[in-house]
Amino acid sequence: TAYHRHTDKLFYSAFGKRHANWGPLGPNGIYVTTSAKSTSTTSNTTSFVNLNSINPAFDAGNPTRNFNPGLGDKTQPNYDENMFTKVGITGMGDLDVSEDGKYLYTINLNDRKAWRIEIGQNAIAPTSASQIVAYTSFPNPCTNSTFRPFAIKSYKGEIYVGGVCDGVTDLSNPSSAVDRNNLK
């Protein structure tokens, strides 16, 4: 989530999890809640923007799912095994609003890049690809694994990114992951 203090709006996005479906905009979507205090009515959450529909270069991944969310039949299997290797590497990570309110920043977990979304001080959804800009990928500080950025913070004109080393050396082979049971 990210709070836009100039308009009293709260932004949301999602990252891939098993047995939990995406929102209506899919993994490339950002949603917004406008508070009752700024609208003189009730708070409401709506779709804000599907970044991929504005800028096709933004692709947060969209693995094929094989489960039936919301059907609620506990007697039927719900495997969602296609998502097993995509958890935490599809969708978006953290969101943050710049101090001047002009930009919304996010981490695309699929391409591991930071993205800047121009929203202006009135928090208006972008309408052109030029308003959605990628920063280059980050150097890999990890040994024998991949750096997975997730957190992002805009502070005093600088962008800070946090992440983890995933312990996986070959994503096509999940057994290459670090054996967490034998860590000392």
Verdict on whether the full-model pTM lies above 0.85: no
DSSP for residue 38: H
Instruction: Mention every residue, 6+ apart, whose C-beta is less than 8 A from residue 110.
Output: 27, 59, 60, 61, 89, 90, 91
Q: Judge whether 119 and 126 are in contact, CB under 8 Å.
A: yes
Amino acid letter, residue 55 = N
For residue 172, the Cα-to-chain-centroid distance in whole angstroms is 22
Instruction: Mention every residue, 6+ apart, whose C-beta is less than 8 A from residue 92.
Output: 13, 14, 15, 27, 28, 30, 60, 106, 107, 108, 109
User: What distance in Å separates the CA atoms of residue 183 and residue 15, rounded to the nearest whole number?
Assistant: 27
User: What distance in Å separates the CA atoms of residue 64 and residue 154, rounded to the nearest whole number?
Assistant: 33
Per-residue pLDDT of the chain (184 residues; tens, 9 = 90+): 999 999 999 999 999 988 888 889 999 999 999 875 655 567 788 999 999 999 999 999 988 877 765 555 667 666 777 888 888 899 999 999 999 999 999 999 999 999 999 999 999 999 999 999 998 767 778 888 889 999 999 999 899 999 999 887 655 554 444 433 333 3
